[in-house]
Amino acid sequence: MSTRKIRITTVAALAAAMSLTLVSAWGPTAAAADRSACPAEPVRVVVSVNQWGDITRQLAGSCAKVVQILTDPNIDPHDYVPNAKAKKRFAGADIVVVNGVGYDDWAQQAAQEYAPKATVVVLGEGAGVQVGANPHLWYGPDYVFLSTRVITGALLEARPKAKGYFLERLASYQSGPLAGYLEAVRSVPVGEPPLRYAATETIFNYMAATTMLEDMTPSAWEINSLDDRPQTKASAREFEDLLKAKKVDVLIFNTQTSDPVAKKMVKVAKGKGIPVVSVTETVPPKYATFVAWQDAMLANLSRALNR
């Protein structure tokens, strides 16, 4: 039996059929947190990366056993190749949650091999993002909000008896932690004209667009980064000239990269007094939740822009 995928049309139909309230990503929901025991047999969920792992745990509560595959902040998920032991952790999964958009194809392949009956929730497909686009969906607040509904839709399909439980978990998460996260996004300073940034990778672009920062990253550099190609001498020189001319207010640097050219840009920025905000792809161990991680990053960004 081939692995099934949950697409946005499926989840939308599920939501309507089960009276799942659709609200704006920027509006609060009101519901009490459900602290009761799971009314159904817990579902086994495997999540490819921990950016989505904590969100899945929050939504599933005691109605799921959530296994996260990639949690090491020293590993670049783009280059990750799971060994046999990691692949076997997919075995027996009812649901597999992956980012998609070409970011974690290894997880989809492992699911096909070890969990052929599982429902594979491809969040990129649910968000309508095509392969080749920026895959870092968890840095887009609207995508995060939408993904909570997509994941809940899959949980509802897997355990219909727990409908009330999952809907209360979703409402509680949206009106609690997620509402706080969205407020932190809104609190990032907005300049007139817009404050400007450059980034060593496209990881932050969705958040930057949401917070109305102007992207000054040279297009050649950005294309090479998105295509996972080495930077050329010309693209590196253009980026360095941009920083030396102080045409940006902040530099965004992904610390999970080992690219020496990107690290050189950090040195140039610091030498010119341009603040550098470090970001990561996966959630570092020091943060207990996705929201705590994002809140800390947004606070660092706000401080840098207020300098």
Mind listing the pLDDT tens digit for each residue in 279-293? 999 999 999 999 999
Rounded Cα distance between 152 and 83, Å, is 29
The predicted pLDDT at position 307 comes to 80
What confidence category does residue 163 fall into, taking pLDDT thresholds of 50, 70 and 90? very high
The predicted pLDDT at position 2 comes to 44
Q: How far is CA 94 from CA 18, 116, 161, in A?
A: 20, 9, 15
Q: Which CATH number fits domain 189-305: 3.40.30.10, 2.40.50.100, 3.40.50.1980, 3.50.50.60?
A: 3.40.50.1980
CB 258 within 8 A of CB 231: no
Q: What is the mean pLDDT of residues 153-165?
A: 97
Q: Which neighbouring-strand residues pair with 199? A: 252
Q: What is the mean pLDDT of residues 78-93?
A: 92
Q: Look at residues 118, 291, 133, 127 and name the one whose alpha carbon lies nearest to residue 205.
A: 133
What confidence category does residue 132 fall into, taking pLDDT thresholds of 50, 70 and 90? confident
Rounded Cα distance between 293 and 307, Å, is 22
Rounded Cα distance between 124 and 143, Å, is 9
The predicted pLDDT at position 10 comes to 42
Q: What is the mean pLDDT of residues 65-79?
A: 87
Q: What percent of the chain has pLDDT over 90?
A: 78
Q: Is the pLDDT of residue 302 over 80?
A: yes
What confidence category does residue 36 fall into, taking pLDDT thresholds of 50, 70 and 90? low
The predicted pLDDT at position 5 comes to 53
Q: Look at residues 20, 25, 4, 31 and name the one whose alpha carbon lies nearest to residue 152.
A: 20
Establish how many alpha carbons lie within 13 A of residue 162's alpha carbon, considering only the half-sphere containing its beta carbon: 28
Model pTM?
0.87
Q: Is the pLDDT of residue 28 over 50?
A: no
208-226 pLDDT tens trace: 999 999 999 999 999 998 8
Query: Mean pLDDT lowest for which of 12-16, 34-38, 152-156?
Result: 12-16
Instruction: Cis check for the bond before 193: say yes or no (omega within 30 of 0).
Output: yes
Q: What percent of the chain has pLDDT over 70?
A: 88
Q: What is the mean pLDDT of residues 126-135?
A: 91
236-262 pLDDT tens trace: 999 999 999 999 999 999 998 778 999
The predicted pLDDT at position 29 comes to 34
Q: Which neighbouring-strand residues pair with 214? A: 196
Instruction: State the average pLDDT for the chain.
Output: 89
The predicted pLDDT at position 1 comes to 37
Q: What is the mean pLDDT of residues 30-44?
A: 70
Q: Is the pLDDT of residue 9 over 70?
A: no
Which residues of the chain are in CATH 3.40.50.1980 domains? Answer: 4-184, 189-305
Q: Is the pLDDT of residue 44 over 80?
A: yes
Q: Look at residues 151, 110, 192 and name the one whose alpha carbon lies nearest to residue 6.
A: 151
Q: What is the mean pLDDT of residues 105-113?
A: 95
Q: Look at residues 26, 250, 56, 86 and name the one whose alpha carbon lies nearest to residue 155.
A: 56
- Domain 4-184 fold: Rossmann fold (3.40.50)
Establish how many alpha carbons lie within 13 A of residue 15's alpha carbon, considering only the half-sphere containing its beta carbon: 20
Rounded Cα distance between 41 and 105, Å, is 29
